[in-house]
A and B are shown apart, each in its own frame.
Chain A
Amino acid sequence: MSEAREMQNNVLLSVTELRTWFELKRWGFLRAGYVKAVDGISFRIRLGEAVTIVGESGSGKTTLLRTILGLAQPVAGEIIFDGRKMDGQNPEDLAWLRSNVGFVQQDPYGALAPFMTVSRILNEPLTINKVEEGEQEQRIRAVLEEVRLIPVEDFLHKFPHMLSGGQQQRLVIARAMILRPKLIVADEPVSMLDASVRVEILELIGRIQKAHNLSVIYITHDLSSVRYFSERVFIMYAAKMVEQTDVKEVVRNPLHPYTQALLNAIPDPEPENAGRFRDIPPGEPPSLINPPSGCRFHPRCPHIIKGLCDKDEPPDFEPTPGHFVECWLYK
């Protein structure tokens, strides 16, 4: 009992049955349906834990993130951050949430104002959140040192276009860190960067996470970088979270047929690849306006159980402790 309590106390972010739907209008006023971008997602993140959300484009991972950040309105469900329920309406709550959550965007150059110097970019959140003037300078220096934009003097007065892609992304991370948040959300932070720089940035986020005992949500479509970064991984498909488990477990023992297909589709660089065809389910992810009944993967699934998978939505099964999967094969 006390252990369950302990768990409860350590939970930083708890999301329950979250649904974010976008209304489709026809001729500007008639309702033509909804895009169900996030449709019934629940998970918990403990303080100091790094999790990865893996999903293809259009699977709803970015909408999930935007809903957590209060940038999109959920139609149902509950978000509790650090013990406080967020309903996205109260501006005070939103301001508090956003000072506690750092956001690392996908495209660093697009995320940085081109007419602001590095010091102004970092100063802005401090001014908005009324940090004392005397402390501002010191905080900026500390955070730049932390992301290794050193010597700090060389960078303070530069504009974003004078920095390389990797340095820009470090600056975005510095900006996310400057208010000393409890949670960092990173939306594909390395997908715009070159292979040789990616690992460096992921290691930097990892180091900051450990040093400050932060929680991190890392969103990616690239399953191969996951194992170097986080402890737990959530797999999303068509607005649903189909599998939640440890990183090691997902590579060793993927349960959901979609996860298995993903693992099968990602090549390691080997010369033999050129000679072999990959066993990939045909077709493409379904439309989120009118998703298939039952399990959303059933039209592509090689292990479909007729009469069950195409009728009833699978609930969360837990075949081994801590490994959740939404698939009828494991009932």
Chain B
Amino acid sequence: MEPQTEPVTGNPADSTTRNGPLLQVEDIRLYFRATNGVVRAVEDVSFELRSGGSLAIIGESGCGKTSLARAILRLLPRNVDTYTGRVFLNGTDVMQFSEERFRRDVRWVKISMVSQAAMNSLNPVLKVGHQVAEPLLLDHRATKQEAMARAEEVFRIVGVPPAFLERYAFELSGGMRQRAIIAMALVASPVLVILDEPTSALDVLTQANIMNALKKIKKELGLSFIFITHDIATSSELADEVICMYAGQLVEHSSAEVFYRQALHPYARKLMASVPTLHVEKKPEFITGEPPSLLNPPQGCRFAARCPERFERCQEEPPLFTRGDAWVKCWLYERS
């Protein structure tokens, strides 16, 4: 990837560039104002993603996984209370960019996103091809012909016949619309695509077909993915690393091998045990109780109240402990 050419606005003495992975996220914190207080949606989440890697972020609804993705892309609603932390893309701290520069150089150019149920938000009165090519036409990034040629190319990559460029959204099936949305995310050749529940509104077979297409894209284009889902079985289709979130916090970050075989954090283990399996006979369990309110989260470990393995230590908030290559936010791993 070509490095950022423009000097970074702000204090030049800041260490704003460094070598390392494609994406480094440090202490992202995102709070929202609500009528009855401050919702702590994301609290001090840090992780790294290497180039070509794919990371699944899993957790139940309301655990902050979508907020985290939106924080990385700075797609924030108006009621933000606190938004701090650092995001390094190819070693450049993009959090210091002005809104205008972020829009011009990062959003959709380097990092794009497929949001939840985006296939229902295609413009009904514009041809699909035009909508897919649109990111290239902004800021005169390409001529109309170039943009349409590129749109045709990405259509082929995601498996939509080029003739569909001339169609309207209502003429496409759900699966084809979702593919068009993925094409839209790929059109500006980003280095990272954030997929927020890209298949959860689709049928089983269509879902499997789209996962096949994404695997092919990952293999052939070497793109990096962040794949957000609450569907644990589907997450395993595209993950080589997994982050598990609970109540706004990262509780486990480990390789797919560790996570799907024997997760470390008690919550992650319980979550895995609750997944019904089709091919292996196993009785799924459920987790008693409910996640805490993010308006007023409990002191100490946030999972303690539901945790079968809690002990005195859990009254304090655990830091992230390392265990091999994995990070776990649990006192059980203090010694190792």
Contacts and interface: CB of A to CB of B under 8 A. Distances in A.
Interface residues of B, number: 52
A274 B203 contact: no
B233 A266 contact: yes
Interface residues of A, number: 41
A285 interface: yes
B149 interface: no
B276 interface: yes
Contact of A224 (B175, B233, B235): B233
A29 interface: no
A197 interface: yes
Contacts of A278: 208, 211-212
Contacts of A273: 236-237
B270 interface: yes
A137 B183 CA distance: 57
A114 to B, nearest CB: 17
A44 interface: no
B278 A203 contact: no
Most buried by A among B203, B206, B207, B287: B203
A248 to B, nearest CB: 10
B271 interface: yes
Nearest to B63: A194
B60 A195 contact: yes
B26 interface: no
B286 A268 contact: no
A274 B204 contact: no
A228 B276 contact: yes
B36 interface: no
A280 interface: yes
Interface string B141-170: 000000000000000000000000000000
Contact of A267 (B176, B236, B257): B236
Contact of B215 (A222, A261, A265, A277): A277
Given A266-B278, A267-B234, A164 B290 contact: yes
Interface in B277-336: 277-281, 283-287, 290
B240 A274 contact: yes
A196 B286 contact: yes
Contact of B277 (A164, A166, A221, A268): A268
B128 to A, nearest CB: 16
A282 B256 contact: no
Contacts of B136: none
A6 interface: no
Interface string A218-245: 0001111101100000000000000000
B276 A221 contact: no
A267 B290 contact: no
Interface in A173-229: 194-200, 203, 221-225, 227-228
Contacts of A69: none
A262 B283 CA distance: 21
Interface string B206-248: 1111011001100000000000001111111111100000000
Given A251-B279, A270-B260, A56 B286 contact: no
B260 A199 contact: no
Nearest to B173: A284
A28 interface: no
A280 B286 contact: no
B290 A224 contact: no
Given A228-B283, A271-B260, A199 B276 contact: yes
Given A224-B277, A265-B208, A196 B203 contact: no
Given A199-B274, A274-B240, A278-B211, A194 B233 contact: no
B138 interface: no
A263 B60 CA distance: 25
Contacts of B238: 274
A271 B256 contact: yes
A204 to B, nearest CB: 10
A272 to B, nearest CB: 8
Contacts of B212: 277-278, 280
A269 interface: yes
Interface of B: 54, 60-61, 173-176, 203-209, 211-212, 215-216, 230-240, 255-257, 259-261, 270-272, 274-281, 283-287, 290
23 contacts: A56-B205, A57-B203, A164-B290, A195-B60, A196-B286, A197-B286, A197-B287, A198-B274, A199-B284, A228-B283, A251-B278, A262-B204, A263-B279, A265-B208, A268-B280, A269-B236, A271-B257, A271-B260, A273-B236, A274-B54, A277-B215, A278-B212, A281-B205
